[in-house]
Amino acid sequence: MKKTFIYSVLTASTLLATSCNKEYLNPSAASEQQVVGDVNGLIALANGLQYRLTIGRASPAYALPTAIGLTTKELKVLNAGNGDEAFLETGGSSVQNPNSITTNLWNQSHLVKANADNILNNANNVQDAGTKSGLIAYASIFKALALGNLANGWEQAPLVVGANATFVPRTDVLKTAITTLESAATALTTPVSANFTSRIVPGIDLANTIQALIARYSIMLGDYDKALAAAAKVDLTKKSSFNFDDTSRNPMFDVVFSNRNVTEPINTDFGLPAILKPDPADKRIAFFFQTSSATNNLGRASFYTANNSAIPLYLPGEIMLIKAEANARKGNLDAAITELNNVLTKTTDIWGIGAGLPAYAGEKTSTAILTEIYKQRSIELFLQGFRLEDSRRFGRPGPGAAGAERTRNWYPYPTTEKDNNTSTPNDPAI
């Protein structure tokens, strides 16, 4: 990140997310009540959200693209000594409850959500309206991202912190994310103050990110009208990103692409089956891979090329393809093709991504168009952590099917949850 902040204030609110009934007090540290009752504490807590979500091997910013990438064959394991990564690559029953990658994704996402809720529940302690609106928007984005992570990997998840918290279906998790974001959009009708923007980690475009995430989670829910309405509000000329530096390093570069010892892309076909193989003229191959070799030293996927590589919260191509998919599923095939062509013929965008391909010339049926949209999502959004959800939503072959394109449908619930929450559901078979 571009600024340094004190993150010790996370400790108090993190206690809420544990199953322990005891409270361990540090006489030299601020109490939770002091932290959330003061604007300075709330801003520090807000900055801590990004730290927890994005820094280190335990972060969702590493766990999500790694777990999803291995499950859907975007990535391959280079060193079998990385056992939990290797189990995800194998899939099926090899992925057990204690798997550290899925456990970190689960635990850290819940902690981010709990800390975001602490900010939202205490935002009224902030007197300055512009600082309050900024805090609400910022915390809402991180809460939604955390909920989206949970809905991506698991069939159910708890929404509240407490003893034996009840699990709800992932559809309710996604609906909560959207409701949170819609409330944040309302809060932003009060302009964010300079006091807030000067003290928060830079990089996130609040207004555009809120609409992009509403569109993302609405398409996952099948609410196509809401997805289209939100996508139309996203300014595709604006960047929104997590920023890093040599101290707070990009986690995928730090763990994966700075050395060839953990994972790397499986091939320059983006791990897609032969029937969906990208056009060799596709300019995104050169964008995402440092070599054209099909088998040797394929990393580094762009966005993970250096310690200070920024990771986008959304891409213009994602928004275009959300519009394409929503229209295709509504039967508006001409509109779907128009949006699909915006991706296929794009030579660049604000992030430098462009396919430079001819317009769509396939069959004008919803099945054919949706298949092409899935293919373009797999390429345009490579290693962004979307492919497992996409694979399920688009009905791609799953475990046990001929030509299976994923090694699991859902992840088992982590041991840390099962051991401390008697409401934990039974694990999915695969």
How do residues 357-372 score in pLDDT, each as one tens digit?
A: 999 999 999 999 999 9
pLDDT category of residue 399 using cuts at 50, 70 and 90: very high
Identify the bridge partners of residue 169 per DSSP, sorted by sequence position: 156
**Which DSSP category does 257 fall into?**
I
- pLDDT score of 294 more than 50: no
Give per-residue pLDDT as tens, 172-226. 999 999 999 999 999 999 999 999 999 999 999 999 999 999 999 999 999 999 9
Residue 169, φ and ψ in degrees, nearest 5: -60, 155
- Tell me what pLDDT residue 31 has: 52
pLDDT category of residue 313 using cuts at 50, 70 and 90: very high
- Tell me what pLDDT residue 334 has: 98
- 143 contact partners, CB below 8 Å, separation of at least 6: 112, 113, 116, 117, 120, 177, 180
Residue 229, φ and ψ in degrees, nearest 5: -65, -45
- Pairing between β-strand 156-158 and β-strand 263-265 as defined by DSSP bridges: unpaired
- The sign one gets for the Cα dihedral 232, 238, 239, 240 is negative
Instruction: Tell me the pLDDT of the chain averaged across its residues.
Output: 91
Whether the CB-CB separation of 248 and 55 falls below 8 Å is answered with: yes
CA angle 346, 348, 349 (to 5 degrees): 100
- pLDDT score of 233 more than 90: yes
Return the H-helix or E-strand segment holding 75. strand 75-77
Report how far Cα 3 is from the mean position of its chain's Cα atoms: 23
- Tell me what pLDDT residue 259 has: 86
- Strand, coil or helix: 274: helix
Return the H-helix or E-strand segment holding 294. none
pLDDT category of residue 302 using cuts at 50, 70 and 90: confident
- pLDDT score of 85 more than 50: yes
- pLDDT score of 33 more than 70: no
More confident residue, 50 or 25: 50
pLDDT category of residue 22 using cuts at 50, 70 and 90: very low
CA distance 166 to 188: 32
- Tell me what pLDDT residue 37 has: 78
pTM of this prediction exceeds 0.95:
no
- Strand, coil or helix: 20: coil
CA angle 267, 90, 301 (to 5 degrees): 30
- Tell me what pLDDT residue 26 has: 44
Percent of the chain with pLDDT over 70: 90
Please name the amino acid found at residue 140.
Answer: S
- Tell me what pLDDT residue 300 has: 61
- Strand, coil or helix: 169: strand
- pLDDT score of 61 more than 90: yes
Whether the CB-CB separation of 147 and 177 falls below 8 Å is answered with: yes
In terms of Cα–Cα distance, which of 84, 149, 79, 138 is closest to 111? 149
**Which DSSP category does 27 fall into?**
T
